[in-house]
Structure 1
């Protein structure tokens, strides 16, 4: 559906009792600009207040799910305010109905928050995952913590430590339990909608209560670790590597990393 009052950074379509939300910055591979994040934060409460919505599907327009943080923001030091409320651009932090991530193409860095936040994940066969935080001189903290709470530790650590040198294909993500299903690209949204319809056919109250129990199991033990993760992320920002990484990426050159023994690296 089209609503002229809604931001153009994402699209919304109703499919029965499911709401399909599509990140809509295909010219930037759906990079998570500050504006897109703010628009999503403002939108999810209205979804939470809609009793007709029984599932949310999140996907990306064009050939990418999301390229992660917008490098324009990173290279200029345009930083968000961090804390446990930071992830409220992800629907599962706000809505009490199941969230299904339909991952098409690349899923990079900060976009892994959507995967970690989602209750169910369906990926296309050509989808892949990478975490370039350390490549950009940033700390990879919240994303691997939340992913490892839902899947094995070692595959997630590969993502966190190898930066953009490592791309995890959808098949590996399936084996690691990071995604629920892998389907041909043409079947991605139909399958996500099929799962949403199965959920919508159940008792809405029972689904919400069952989901709340499962989310609590994953999130409550993680809360103190997430707080420390955000502190580590922000603590890295004054370090020169934090700006050198994205600038080197934009300038297509190898980064000149600082000596980790330097006082600024402590």
Structure 2
């Protein structure tokens, strides 16, 4: 792993940490691939019984790092499908992990960061945490399974509100909606997360895996949802509205979307 993705073992729990605090742990393609590798390794490690996904420095993940991505790959628009496949590979690594997964959320879980937190089996959050699907603000749609998880976790009406209006769901609201396994002060987040991980790692691994698989099977087909998001997002990424949305974001002004 790079220094931007850290992996540590605590007991029988693997803790995977996004380590870009200066950028609120936002993602590049390389970081996404490193995260995916760390999660796959944890899934295949017989000594690991639980996986924690978290971020360093007061935030979980602020989504894709557009500035660094365009700087590193000026020809990004010519191979958007490769980026989409890499990001979806990360979601699949979370969902397919046979061990219980916990998102330990402090501060922002925005855009694809929100999708990662929602894809985990359980979430522990600090009082400063929030989840926000901000894609529409730059002319995009959720592309990490958000259109799959939110209707199932919140119901259709709240999911529409969260996605179409880019509503920020703060920790107190997330807890009231039943999305959190625990809500604690920021200073207690690590302790609360590892306490929950300890309970899971001491549980019956075969039963936990079987229960996870049965629950997810009852929700429907996430692969179809990811495919729909992939197709929709690739169309949107080539629109004039996205160019306008990104320019407006970079210039800190309101976008003027034209529907083209």
Fold similarity call, TM over 0.5: yes
Equivalent in the alignment of 2:218: 217
Cα separation, 2, equivalents of 1:187 and 1:80: 40
Q: Secondary structure at the match of 2:137?
A: coil
Shifted more, 183-192 versus 80-89: the winner is: 80-89
Cα separation, 1, equivalents of 2:252 and 2:8: 38
Q: 1:7 aligns with which of 2, 20, 26?
A: 2
Cα separation, 2, equivalents of 1:180 and 1:84: 30
Q: CA deviation at 1:251?
A: 1.6
Structure-2-length-normalised TM-score:
0.88
Q: CA deviation at 1:113?
A: 1.6
Cα separation, 2, equivalents of 1:181 and 1:162: 26
Equivalent in the alignment of 2:232: 232
Equivalent in the alignment of 2:177: 176
Judged with a 3 Å threshold, the aligned counterparts in structure 2 of structure 1 residues 111 and 191 are, in CA distance, closer, same or farther, namely same
Gaps spanning 5+ residues in structure 1: where?
Answer: 1-5
Q: Please report the RMSD computed on the Cα atoms of aligned residues, expressed in angstroms.
A: 2.1
Structure-1-length-normalised TM-score:
0.86
Q: CA deviation at 1:240?
A: 0.8
Equivalent in the alignment of 2:165: 162
Cα separation, 1, equivalents of 2:254 and 2:111: 19
Equivalent in the alignment of 2:40: 45
| 1:1-40 correspondence runs (5 A) | 6-40=1-35
- What are the superposed Cα offsets for residues 184-216 of structure 1, whole Å, 9 maximum, x if unpaired? 111111111111111111222222222222222
- What are the superposed Cα offsets for residues 50-71 of structure 1, whole Å, 9 maximum, x if unpaired? 1110000111100211111112
Cα separation, 2, equivalents of 1:149 and 1:130: 16
Q: Does 1:200 align with 2:195?
A: no
Equivalent in the alignment of 1:3: none
Cα separation, 2, equivalents of 1:86 and 1:227: 12
2:128–2:170 Cα contact (<8 Å) kept: yes
Q: Secondary structure at the match of 1:47?
A: helix
Q: Does 1:153 align with 2:148?
A: no
Shifted more, 12-21 versus 138-147: the winner is: 138-147
- What are the superposed Cα offsets for residues 120-176 of structure 1, whole Å, 9 maximum, x if unpaired? 01111111121211101112353132222233222222221113xx32111111222
1:109–1:131 Cα contact (<8 Å) kept: yes
Q: Secondary structure at the match of 1:107?
A: strand
Q: Secondary structure at the match of 2:254?
A: coil
Gaps spanning 5+ residues in structure 2: where?
Answer: none
Q: CA deviation at 1:233?
A: 1.1
Cα separation, 1, equivalents of 2:85 and 2:212: 20
Report the structure, 1 or 2, having the larger helix content: 2
